[in-house]
Structure 1
């Protein structure tokens, strides 16, 4: 429904451009989830596991980092519009927004997704089930895997710092405007705080646990030495990855609260569907008003 509504909302701002790009990455990541579940089963074929490690897994992780990048761009876009509401900077130009969205897709695909696909090229010689994708990588693939994971982890924390800084600036500007206006409307203040911190809370809750766990899991996955703590790291990584995946369910809530055009279009779709149901039940024209 989020995708259907976003296609019917015009791209009149950079925010809408980023939002539509975010919807696309969320859809692609959602489509990968059933394959992720299947490849964890002991009954799955080794050939499918290799196919998942080589193609589906990299696509899924690339989509996750695209979502992280676009969420950071949305935060920066909101910061610029609130701190500098008058005039239009380069960052608020529609062409710039489209260029940035396309650049994120191309950059992450070219630097993370495609090299992983190319270097995951070894066959597993036995029919025994395997759980790690590292068995399909040679020495260059393992080195690239470790380098990519470290780079993406640093990339996330840099974006995280930017998002926190943006919302600190936004909250300071909003609270100052309330003080200057002398407003005593507590409900308006609460709604404003919700809008300001909603993206920040969703961003930190969804992605921070995964990247904290990933720091120790990086070296365990690329090492040939097995220890008792490896199993706990694997479980922790799985749980934190599940938490990160819930972001695709939380993002539509952000669309509704942050984008007036999206929420109005969604309400009209729901109202139209309700009128259609009433019309079918009554066998005539739906009541107006």
Structure 2
């Protein structure tokens, strides 16, 4: 006979505030990502190594936007069993596919920026478009390998509909075990990618600071680049670090290593709060495109300049 405390433990009964923020993120992310898509499509100079990674990052963001409406409906209190199953089997794995694809592509962008600044002739192959395309294919294979089984492994045949049904409630043991394994693999991806991001951006900041002090004529450009890289690094840390700090403890509640109801609820709320932070990168990414990609920046600036010129020339 199961523990009665676990059968009545409802951890997801206060999700409406999260849904409100997700709606805002979805609307802002959709608008800015469509602008980014237009800029990359119309740009004549988008086929560079770093731009390949940025375009893949944008593709990942559109996958996230496919998943967010389902999560929003679920968080608003829709307890349809079919919606819950679809969220657990499709939209939730899509969110994690986006997260880890984004983390890896952001690390590639950081490394590529470092290579551009150092202009190392020994590493020219790493800056070729063909290499970027190959690495992008490897990234998609990796994140799909980790997360697609969460979609494909069968769930329980007879699911009892109840208030507060969670994804772990509908999974068989195999599904729970693979989910836990995918979390471990995701953590490994995060730690390796974060090392690349922090090391590359740290070395870039060091070079820019030295350049700022040694070349007075280049101070303004170096200071501007220094601020941009520092902001991008801070956004990465704020967006992804808190989630991974609480992800593993929360996973222990899903596999019943932690069974105390109040602790489970606290960890669930911490996980959802930090997941919201991580999904906020949907709004930050277009800013990254503007800072990093010259072709993107040129197209957007030209479009707004043309619009401003037309409005000024209109007769009153």
TM-score by length of 1: 0.89
Aligned pairs, how many?
280
Q: 1:126 to 1:255 in 2, by over 3 A?
A: same
Q: Which deviates more, 132-141 or 183-192?
A: 183-192
Determine the C-alpha separation between the residues in 1 that align with 2:305 and 2:119.
36
Aligned to 2:286: 252
The yes-or-no answer on 1:214 pairing with 2:284 is no
Aligned to 1:58: 93
Q: 1:124 to 1:233 in 2, by over 3 A?
A: farther
CA contact (8 A) 1:3 1:24 kept: no
Determine the C-alpha separation between the residues in 1 that align with 2:119 and 2:315.
52
Shift of 1:74: 0.2
Determine the C-alpha separation between the residues in 1 that align with 2:134 and 2:292.
22
**Equivalences for residues 25-174 of structure 1 within 5 A:** 25-84=60-119, 89-109=124-144, 111-174=145-208
CA contact (8 A) 1:26 1:248 kept: yes
Q: 1:141 to 1:147 in 2, by over 3 A?
A: same
Deviation string, structure 1 residues 56-102 (Cα, Å, up to 9, x no partner): 21112101111111000000111111123557611101001111112
Shift of 1:278: 6.5
Q: 1:216 to 1:2 in 2, by over 3 A?
A: same
Determine the C-alpha separation between the residues in 2 that align with 1:14 and 1:186.
27
Shift of 1:8: 1.8
Deviation string, structure 1 residues 216-265 (Cα, Å, up to 9, x no partner): 11111221734311111111111101111110101111111222221110
Determine the C-alpha separation between the residues in 2 that align with 1:273 and 1:176.
39
* SS of equivalent to 2:151: helix
Aligned to 2:268: 234
1:262 to 296, 303, 307: 296
Shift of 1:188: 3.7
Shift of 1:198: 2.5
Determine the C-alpha separation between the residues in 2 that align with 1:199 and 1:124.
47
Determine the C-alpha separation between the residues in 2 that align with 1:124 and 1:274.
61
Shift of 1:31: 2.6
* SS of equivalent to 2:130: helix
CA contact (8 A) 2:212 2:218 kept: no
Determine the C-alpha separation between the residues in 2 that align with 1:87 and 1:43.
56
Q: Which deviates more, 121-130 or 156-165?
A: 121-130
Determine the C-alpha separation between the residues in 2 that align with 1:276 and 1:121.
58
TM-score by length of 2: 0.82
Q: 1:63 to 1:120 in 2, by over 3 A?
A: farther
- Computed over aligned residues only, the root mean square deviation of the Cα atoms, in angstroms, reads 2.2
User: Which structure ranks higher in relative contact order (CA pairs < 8 Å, sequence separation ≥ 6)?
Assistant: 2
Determine the C-alpha separation between the residues in 1 that align with 2:226 and 2:71.
36
* SS of equivalent to 1:127: coil
